[in-house]
Amino acid sequence: FSETEKIPVMRGQWFIDGTWQPLEEEESNLIEQEHLNRFKGQQLQESFDMEVSKPVDGKEAIHSLKLSRNHVDWHSVDEVYLYSDATTSKIARTVTQKLGFSKASSSGTRLHRGYVEEATLEDKPPQTSHIVFVVHGIGQKMDQGRIIKNTAMMRDTARKIEEKYFSNLATHVEFLPVEWRSKLTLDGDTVDSITPDKVRGLRDMLNSSAMDIMYYTSPLYRDELVKGLQQELNRLYTLFCSRNPEFEEKGGKVSIVSHSLGCVITYDIMTGWNPVRLYEQLLQKEEEELEDRWMSYEEQHLLEELYITKQRLREIEERLHGLKASTISKPPVLKFKVENFFCMGSPLAVFLALRGIRPGNSGSQDHILPRTICNRLLNIFHPTDPVAYRLEPLILKHYSNISPVQIHWYNTANPLPYEHMKPSFLNPTKEPTSVTDSESASAVPSPTTSPVMVRRHYGESITNIGKASILGAASIGKGLGGMLFSRFGRSSTTTSQTLETGKDGAESEEKKATTVGTPPFPHSSSGFLEPAVELEHRIDFELREGLVESRYWSAVTSHTAYWSSLDIALFLLTFMYKHDQEDTDKSNLEAI
């Protein structure tokens, strides 16, 4: 809400049964005073959230209170009814009582006291040991309060999970919304002014949502989006620490939950990635290619002079940066260390692939996100979310054939810990296709050279729509951005394939996959994998599909269905409470 809006904060003491709407404060105070004078010290028979007992039939009121337009009857300490004294209500009450109905059941409104125990000065919420910044993706301009509502939903579901599974812990996780989009000016109203009037509603919706992807791929506006999120994260952290001074002293931790495009922006802030760096790498690559080809004496001489000049320029820049660094200490990009980075419905893998990230030989998360920056990266997605992509195959290529880890249902009894779950094939019964002798001799089962097996594709047409839209938006820029994505995205190795969208590209990819064989990985008869190289920690985690869920309808709704999921709430808290739970279990064992 805007700062000009004023929202009254009222104290609720007495509430109407069913709707739980609070009574007016003036009436509530009078009823509370009368209740304390008459019943203070007596034992209550029902708790705050119990089902309402049957109406009191024939039981006389033991105490009454006359108000201006109503009166209140107490039939017991916890059976209180409000009656209207309007003429029509009196007539209706008289008629129904003559018909044999009780006064309470005919016209009374049952009231509930807001709490069952008096508060003390020692009462306080549990100490916050972990804060979670919740970062939105595209579409926030269309509904500026959406991230606040979504975070409230995530917080509510997390509270239910905390009460059920983590009530033995004395610590608490707090979720804070990060709204970074509404304060940005970007192009002002230029895009709106060039938008045609036909189907204006649809165009405005796209301008307020998908346009954010285009802004982020623009060299002109990208920095504004990055700085907007970075400054808001630091502002909220500073504000929280000022109001909770013990948080840093007691080693409080910070995690980030990002959705959609917010994952990409958060990643770039943490790693300091910049397209200029990619452009420099591209120029260096072109210089190496120039050195390999034949050239005349004059060309060679000019190239040597250019190399010496660039080397001299770099030395001067380094000296200049050294002088600045000695006088001004550059503050860190973020004022806190990120413990866990949770991506939800994230296209981050596509952006990294287009930046030239290719699988390596090590199973370390450091290949895409160093552990010194963020302790743990976790990629959460719904299997039919068209915007979400996997990250594990960017670290080890053969993980494209391995199923993501299935997220447990929140009500699963004694679930297997995620670190003990063995990797398994997407399709264990799939046999590799035949290859020629020469191909099979050269094909070595390596994480970087193994081609991808033909995999099952569900909801393919819908998923291709999402894929095409992201790839299309990511390659819109013609200048620097266009050159980066088109030039650097190509790989010189024989194993990489050109990304193509459309029917022809898909057909050629399928044909290529069926003609090239995949060397078999060692695995047991159960379909579990026993590879030579494994990931240190699993990164891709997949929600389970509903039993009666339509995949095509789910593809439309799944991208925004993460916020209220109890499964996700349990998953997040499992990793954030991991060390606290281990410490509690250890102390319990020592006590035994």
Q: What residues act catalytically?
A: 260
Closest Cα to residue 378, out of 531, 229, 257? 257
H or E, element range at 131:
strand 127-135
How far CA 491 is from CA of 129, 480, 485, 488, 507, in Å, comes to 45, 19, 12, 7, 21
Closest Cα to residue 84, out of 64, 67, 61, 97? 67
DSSP symbol at 61: P
Half-sphere exposure (Cβ direction) of 175: Cα atoms closer than 13 Å: 26
User: What does the angle CA 10 – CA 151 – CA 116 come to, to the nearest 5 degrees?
Assistant: 40
DSSP assignment of 496-564? ------SHHHHHHHHHHHHHS--PPPPB-TTSBB--SS--SS--EEEPPPPTT--HHHHHHHGGG-STT
Pairing of strands 338-344, 374-381: parallel
Pairing of strands 70-76, 79-84: antiparallel
Tell me how crowded residue 337 is: count the other CB atoms within 10 A of its CB: 13
Determine phi and psi for 405, rounding to 5 degrees: -70, 130
How far CA 265 is from CA of 127, 191, 273, 361, 366, in Å, comes to 30, 22, 10, 27, 18
The CA distance from 157 to 512, in Å, is: 46
